[in-house]
Amino acid sequence: AQAGSHLVRLTHQGQQDPLRNQTALVDKSRSTVTYYITSQSNHTAVVLYDSRNGYVCYKPMEQHACYLRRMDTWDLQTLQTSLNTSEQRADQLLRQDNQTKYYQEFLGILAGEEVDPKSLGEAVQTLCEQTSIFWVRRGGGPGKQRLIYLCIDICFPSNICVSICFYYLPE
């Protein structure tokens, strides 16, 4: 961690959820929060929120690709909560509120929409160095012909958890 950043380590365990290891690296100087998530099946993913450049970037460690979308208002609000949360406060938030809110979000991978890394900020370039970067967009969910590519579960200090699933959009 660099000056201006601090490490917040959260381990989230829900009654219906398997144990999931999650670490958040908050870098206030770059206005980024990077989540490192390892599922019970030992799959690791990185989710980067970069408010300076307005991107959310997903990188499954088992794949040689990154997935990128523009931030929306909800992302910015969630990011502000994380940027303003210290390690001690994050632990207190998880202990005080056992009522975790779960959401599911489907992101469609846009076929043939590879991104030029030079047009992105430093944080995304560093995370996705020497990998392909593809645009994704929110969808209503996978149809019968669409294959779910992968799912990532992420929990924020505000006790909101989001399951993000990727699938290919037919084009």
- Three-class SS of residue 145? coil
In this prediction, residue 10 carries a pLDDT of 54
- Which residues, 6+ apart, have CB-to-CB distance to 102 below 8 Å? 14, 161, 162, 163
165: pLDDT strictly greater than 70: yes
Identify the bridge partners of residue 60 per DSSP, sorted by sequence position.
45
In this prediction, residue 58 carries a pLDDT of 93
Structural domains counted in the chain: 1
Domain that residue 43 falls in: 5-168
39: pLDDT strictly greater than 90: no
CA-to-CA separations, 92 to 9, 14, 25, 28, in angstroms, rounded = 12, 16, 18, 21
- Which tens digit of pLDDT belongs to each residue from 100-142? 677 778 888 877 767 878 888 899 999 999 888 988 888 776 6
Model pTM?
Answer: 0.77
Helix (H) or strand (E) holding 130: none
